[in-house]
């Protein structure tokens, strides 16, 4: 396949970009966005041996995308015990989560930066039998070099925002050249399908299947810890603010202050999206005079605690099970929102702000099912919390949310079938050629 002018220029730069990439790595390392102990992986130098046998490589951008793959990976390794899995991501947080959650025969590596020397080194070592991109993070050198080695490529769980579409629209020739290298694409919604067709992916290769997050297994937790927390709460009313970002904690705390007027015993469990913001959130709580305890200090709330700062990573499954009401963060600030199927699958009523561009279709379905409520400011958040202190109302929302979240489990089945058919196709073709 020929290259567009923009792609040719990009690849010419990428072939000589080792120095630029090294400077970029140094900058990211200095601000804590790289793992010093595994920096060579970003240069395409593997820290693990390639396992023998078939290898499926999944590339995901960060935490949310990689978590959506876990149930799919589990199913693949169950159905094909001889197959191994490689997952690449680009963030430190995602690497930590994958280290805890990946099953046997699956390994995580940091994705190489998109400099051709790094990309070639990565592919020379891993030699995947199938490459699977998730969502819509398109790295030109990585895609073109993978395709040049006749490694079949799929795009699954694809989602494209308007901003991403508008950016690629100005490089439509380049986008079309990259997208046509994918044999098939499973997309989350009709909007993404339209965007990808507009950018050049043939419609016959597109299938709207919904999001893999619908078919994902419920977030894990330890039952003994849930029982310990529940016992400590002694029946106190509780609500959860999950995956909050800078600027949201202030609004959440204002809402909590308003809600306390009607429910003086109400406890807020506050979970920042990034655990390394724990100190900053603790300073906010301290300066505003809240009575709070911290999870990282191994403290538990007592009768006087107003806020429980759960500043750990990987425990959302616990907090969603503890709280019957969950505000899902990244939605009161223009972040784009976070995955509402996580609380939906675990029996928690869902509240969210107006900024949910990452999950528009899902929130629309939840809203239509009366499983989620839109709030726009601290006062409306407080009013919703107080209303949902009525256990019947909260339970009705939670049950509706569970029904919506469980209705799409076949998305994973469809993805498993596509991957295995594609993985088997080269071997079948070889047999046909020989016959």
Active centre residues (catalytic): 65
With contact defined as beta carbons under 8 Å apart, do 29 and 39 qualify? yes
With contact defined as beta carbons under 8 Å apart, do 97 and 77 qualify? no
Q: Is 154 helix (H, G, I), strand (E, B) or coil?
A: strand
With contact defined as beta carbons under 8 Å apart, do 214 and 409 qualify? yes
Nearest to 329 by CA among 229, 247, 221: 247
Strands 106-110 and 372-374: unpaired
Distance CA(370)–CA(401), nearest Å, equals 8
Distance CA(40)–CA(42), nearest Å, equals 5
Phi, psi of 393 (to 5 degrees): -65, -45
Distance CA(62)–CA(145), nearest Å, equals 22
Nearest to 243 by CA among 62, 57, 390, 9: 62
Nearest to 113 by CA among 179, 207, 18, 202: 18
In terms of C-beta distances under 8 Å and separation of at least 24 residues, what long-range contacts does 166-169 make, across chains too? Answer: 168/138, 168/199, 169/198, 169/199
DSSP secondary structure code for residue 81 in this structure: T
Please give the structure tokens belonging to residue 82: 């001889």
With contact defined as beta carbons under 8 Å apart, do 280 and 249 qualify? no
Please give the structure tokens belonging to residue 281: 């959130």
With contact defined as beta carbons under 8 Å apart, do 185 and 159 qualify? no
Helix, strand, coil percentages, rounded to 5, for the chain: 50, 15, 35
Distance CA(193)–CA(165), nearest Å, equals 11
Distance CA(242)–CA(398), nearest Å, equals 16
The crossing angle, in degrees rounded to 10, of helices 378-387 and 248-262 is 40
């Amino acid at each position: 396949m020929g290259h567009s002018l923009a792609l040719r220029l990009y690849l010419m730069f990428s072939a000589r970009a080792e120095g630029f990439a090294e400077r970029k790595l140094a900058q990211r390392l200095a601000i804590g966005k790289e793992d010093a102990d595994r920096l060579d992986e970003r240069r395409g130098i593997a820290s693990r041996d390639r396992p023998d046998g078939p290898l499926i490589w999944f590339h995901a951008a960060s935490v949310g995308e990689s978590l959506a793959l876990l149930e799919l990976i589990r199913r693949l390794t169950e159905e094909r015990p001889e197959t191994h899995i490689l997952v690449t991501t680009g963030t430190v947080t995602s690497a930590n989560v994958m280290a805890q959650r990946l099953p046997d025969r699956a390994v995580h590596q940091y994705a190489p930066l998109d400099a051709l020397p790094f990309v070639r080194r990565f592919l020379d070592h891993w030699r995947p039998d199938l490459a699977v991109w998730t969502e819509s993070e398109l790295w030109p050198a990585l895609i073109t070099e993978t395709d040049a080695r006749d490694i079949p490529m799929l795009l699954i769980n694809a989602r494209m925002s308007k901003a991403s579409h508008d950016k690629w629209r100005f490089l439509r020739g380049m986008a079309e050249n990259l997208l046509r290298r994918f044999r098939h694409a499973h997309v989350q919604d009709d909007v993404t399908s339209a965007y990808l067709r507009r950018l050049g992916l043939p419609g016959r290769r597109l299938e709207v299947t919904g999001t893999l997050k619908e078919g994902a297994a419920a977030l894990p937790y330890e039952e003994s810890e849930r029982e310990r927390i529940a016992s400590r709460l002694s029946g106190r009313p509780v609500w959860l603010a999950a995956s909050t970002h800078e600027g949201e904690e202030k609004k959440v705390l204002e809402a909590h202050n308003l809600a306390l007027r009607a429910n003086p015993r109400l406890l807020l469990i506050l979970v920042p999206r990034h655990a390394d913001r724990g100190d900053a959130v603790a300073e906010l709580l301290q300066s505003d005079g809240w009575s709070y305890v911290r999870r990282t200090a191994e403290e538990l709330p007592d009768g006087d605690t107003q806020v429980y700062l759960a500043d750990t990573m990987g425990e959302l499954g616990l907090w969603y099970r503890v709280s019957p009401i969950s505000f899902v963060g990244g939605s009161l600030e223009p972040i784009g929102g976070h995955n509402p199927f996580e609380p939906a699958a675990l029996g928690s009523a869902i509240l969210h702000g107006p900024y949910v561009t990452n999950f528009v279709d899902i929130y629309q379905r939840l809203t239509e099912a009366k499983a989620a409520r839109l709030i726009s400011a601290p006062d409306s958040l407080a009013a919703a919390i107080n209303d949902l202190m009525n256990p019947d109302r909260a339970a009705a929302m939670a049950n509706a949310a569970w029904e919506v979240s469980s209705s799409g489990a076949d998305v994973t089945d469809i993805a498993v079938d596509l991957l295995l058919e594609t993985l088997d196709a080269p071997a079948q073709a070889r047999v046909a050629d020989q016959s």
